[in-house]
């Protein structure tokens, strides 16, 4: 199926819209019509089954899918009637009734689309699900979303295509569907709940939009559809621009890099803050889309305030396991994947008057430690340290950092957490750092970071020499 399905002329007839759609799909592809038995889906199924035949003498590979929401009396009769129409037209149909009690429009829509997605997937990777949404539906959707305070992207209304779902009649008005049905003598089922003004869509369709066209703007429906087209064009423009903006950011590798292997995205805080707030909002949404994080306007505003005012080490919960945290000069968006796993940890104990070599495992990272007692201290380095063997409380232990760890430095005792922050050690790697402590829990050494002032080697006194090999 081609990526660009069609670009019809404004408000085509039913046959024109269906023909344009069929021109854009490969022959023989399986087309499944979401068939409720109402006017819209009856027209779409009939036009595909018989209108296409009159067009070029061939019939598309068409079937139907009917979902019974079971929310009212008579829905089973609708299902039976729809199945009968499909049999009469020589169209295979799959029917299913909801197995749970649905109580709202949102519940019904969610259950219906889950059914349609399942049927399409079962039909094969190239199958396409068609719904009969039309231009009046588009106008209602745009107004409904505007009244609820949607963002600009929401004003795009109903999408012409979403994955394997396509809406060929989106540019056709309901009056044209009615004209087609009258011309070919179609019958259809009326859903009595369409008369209930307690449903928001019914109120818009039957009272609000007609009232607006009568008393305020005669062409309100067309204006709303035009607004959706403008919003869609704007979104397409941003889709081209945003990758260019993101390319200017200081963006780290997007692959999982922390011990929990959570999907994460790492970007320089300064490069984000260099963008004006409106542009930054779009960039944030664009970036986190890679992590399957969807953000509403209120959450984006919270992120903006967080980036501008919080300090390193702070975390903001975004919901659904998603977080944004500040790690020094970096901003990290992450998502917890499934149940949290505990990385393997294995400590090494260094007994007195001994020498040896062992492997420690710290939050999944393997570290090799070797030690021995000698008459002289070895030269200190990032990976090597010596200690006065008579001044330390044995045994020593090589482990990961622990809450409350402190280390004695020239200026006095300091929290290890603060020391790591000052040394710009990324949050995601702090638990993998080896920490050497004595029998009392005193931190003696954090290789490649800092050594305490405790038990410094003295001339003529045996030294315990420790070496760390990553």
pLDDT category of residue 84 using cuts at 50, 70 and 90: very high
Give pLDDT, residue 1.
37
Give pLDDT, residue 2.
35
Instruction: Please tell me the distance from the alpha carbon of residue 290 to that of residue 182, in angstroms, as a whole number.
Output: 48
Over range 241-266, report the average pLDDT: 75
Instruction: Please tell me the distance from the alpha carbon of residue 48 to that of residue 38, in angstroms, as a whole number.
Output: 16
Instruction: Please indicate whether the domains covering 14-235 and 264-335 agree at the CATH topology level.
Output: no
pLDDT category of residue 101 using cuts at 50, 70 and 90: confident
Over range 91-96, report the average pLDDT: 96
The model's pTM: 0.70
Burial class (CB in 10 A: 0-12, 13-18, 19+), 429: middle
224 φ/ψ angles, rounded to the nearest 5 degrees: -65, -40
Instruction: Please tell me the distance from the alpha carbon of residue 61 to that of residue 27, in angstroms, as a whole number.
Output: 9
Over range 157-167, report the average pLDDT: 94
Q: How many helices (H) and strands (E) does the chain have?
A: 14, 21
Give pLDDT, residue 56.
62
Give pLDDT, residue 257.
44
What average pLDDT is seen over the chain?
Answer: 88
Residue with tokens 């094969």: 124
280, 304 contact by CB (below 8 A): yes
Which CATH code, of 1.10.3720.10, 3.30.9.10, 3.30.465.60, 3.40.190.290, is assigned to 264-335?
3.30.465.60
Detail the DSSP E strand segments found in 170-301.
264-268
The reply to whether CATH 3.40.605.10 applies to domain 14-235 is no
CA 310 to chain centre: 24
Over range 183-199, report the average pLDDT: 82
Angle at 296 between CA 293 and CA 301, to 5 degrees: 105
Is pLDDT larger for residue 256 or for residue 311?
Answer: 311
Instruction: Please tell me the distance from the alpha carbon of residue 229 to that of residue 428, in angstroms, as a whole number.
Output: 44
Instruction: Please tell me the distance from the alpha carbon of residue 148 to that of residue 117, in angstroms, as a whole number.
Output: 27
Residue with tokens 């710290």: 362
Closest CA to 68 of 168, 189, 195: 189
Is pLDDT larger for residue 255 or for residue 102?
Answer: 102
pLDDT category of residue 55 using cuts at 50, 70 and 90: low
pLDDT digit string, tens, across residues 19-37: 999 988 888 899 999 999 9
DSSP for residue 9: P
Give pLDDT, residue 198.
65
Closest CA to 364 of 404, 410, 418, 400: 400
Over range 10-25, report the average pLDDT: 86
Over range 47-58, report the average pLDDT: 73
pLDDT above 50 for 5:
no
Over range 138-148, report the average pLDDT: 95
Q: What is the largest CA-CA distance in the chain?
A: 109
Comparing 320-329, 341-350, 416-425, 440-449, which segment has the lowest mean pLDDT?
341-350
pLDDT category of residue 261 using cuts at 50, 70 and 90: low
Give pLDDT, residue 255.
46
pLDDT digit string, tens, across residues 333-353: 988 765 555 667 889 998 876
pLDDT category of residue 134 using cuts at 50, 70 and 90: very high
Closest CA to 246 of 229, 233, 262, 265: 265
Give pLDDT, residue 337.
66
13, 172 contact by CB (below 8 A): yes
Residue with tokens 């692959």: 255
pLDDT above 70 for 273:
yes
What SS3 state is found at 435?
strand
Is pLDDT larger for residue 393 or for residue 57?
Answer: 393
Residue with tokens 């709940």: 193
pLDDT digit string, tens, across residues 200-251: 888 999 899 999 999 999 999 999 999 999 999 999 999 999 999 999 999 8
CA 195 to chain centre: 37
Query: Residue ranges per domain, the chain?
Result: 14-235, 264-335, 348-469
Give pLDDT, residue 461.
87
Strand order in the sheet with 322-327: 264-268, 330-335, 322-327, 315-319
Instruction: Please tell me the distance from the alpha carbon of residue 373 to that of residue 351, in angstroms, as a whole number.
Output: 11
- Both tokens of 210, joined, read 């007609």
DSSP for residue 173: -
Q: Kindly report whether the peptide bond that precedes residue 395 is cis, defined as omega within 30 degrees of 0.
A: yes
């Amino acid at each position: 199926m081609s990526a660009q399905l069609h670009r019809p002329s404004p408000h085509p007839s039913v046959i024109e819209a269906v023909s344009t759609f069929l021109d854009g799909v490969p022959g023989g592809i399986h087309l499944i019509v979401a068939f409720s038995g109402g006017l819209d889906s009856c027209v779409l199924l009939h036009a595909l089954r018989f209108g296409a035949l009159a067009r070029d003498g061939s019939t598309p590979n068409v079937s139907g899918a009917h979902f019974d929401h079971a929310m009212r009396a008579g829905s089973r009769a609708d299902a039976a009637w729809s199945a009968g129409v499909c049999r009469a037209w020589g169209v295979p149909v799959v029917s299913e009734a909801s197995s749970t009690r649905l109580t709202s429009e949102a519940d019904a829509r969610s259950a219906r689309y889950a059914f349609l997605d399942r049927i399409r997937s079962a039909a094969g990777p190239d199958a396409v699900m068609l719904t009969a949404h039309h231009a009046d539906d588009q106008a209602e959707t745009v107004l409904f979303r505007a009244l609820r305070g949607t963002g600009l992207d929401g004003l795009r209304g109903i999408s012409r295509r979403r994955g394997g779902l396509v809406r060929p009649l989106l540019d056709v008005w309901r009056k044209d569907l009615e004209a087609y049905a009258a011309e070919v003598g179609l019958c259809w089922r009326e859903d009595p709940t369409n008369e209930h003004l307690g449903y928001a869509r019914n109120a818009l369709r039957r009272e609000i939009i007609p009232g607006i066209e009568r008393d305020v703007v005669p062409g309100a429906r067309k204006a709303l559809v035009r607004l959706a087209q403008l919003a869609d064009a704007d979104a397409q423009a941003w889709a081209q621009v945003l990758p260019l903006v993101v390319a200017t950011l200081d963006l780290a590798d997007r692959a999982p890099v922390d011990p929990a292997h959570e999907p994460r995205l790492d970007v320089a805080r300064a490069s984000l803050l260099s963008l004006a707030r409106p542009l930054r909002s779009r960039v944030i949404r664009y970036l986190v889309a890679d992590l399957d994080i969807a953000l509403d306007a209120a959450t984006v505003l919270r992120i903006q305030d967080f980036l501008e005012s919080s300090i390193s080490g702070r975390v903001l919960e975004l919901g659904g396991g998603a977080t944004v945290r500040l790690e020094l000069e970096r901003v990290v968006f992450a998502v917890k994947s499934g149940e949290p796993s505990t990385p393997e940890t294995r400590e090494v104990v260094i007994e007195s008057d001994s020498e040896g070599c062992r492997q420690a495992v710290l939050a999944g990272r393997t570290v090799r430690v070797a030690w021995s007692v000698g008459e002289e201290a070895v030269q200190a380095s990032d990976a090597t340290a010596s200690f006065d063997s008579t001044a330390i409380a044995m045994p020593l232990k090589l482990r990961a950092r622990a809450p409350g760890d402190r280390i004695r430095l020239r200026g006095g005792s300091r929290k290890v957490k603060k020391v790591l922050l000052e040394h710009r050690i990324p949050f995601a790697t702090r638990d993998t750092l080896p920490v050497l402590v004595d029998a009392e829990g005193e931190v003696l050494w954090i290789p490649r970071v800092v050594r305490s002032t405790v038990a410094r080697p003295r001339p003529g006194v045996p030294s315990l020499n420790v070496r760390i090999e990553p």
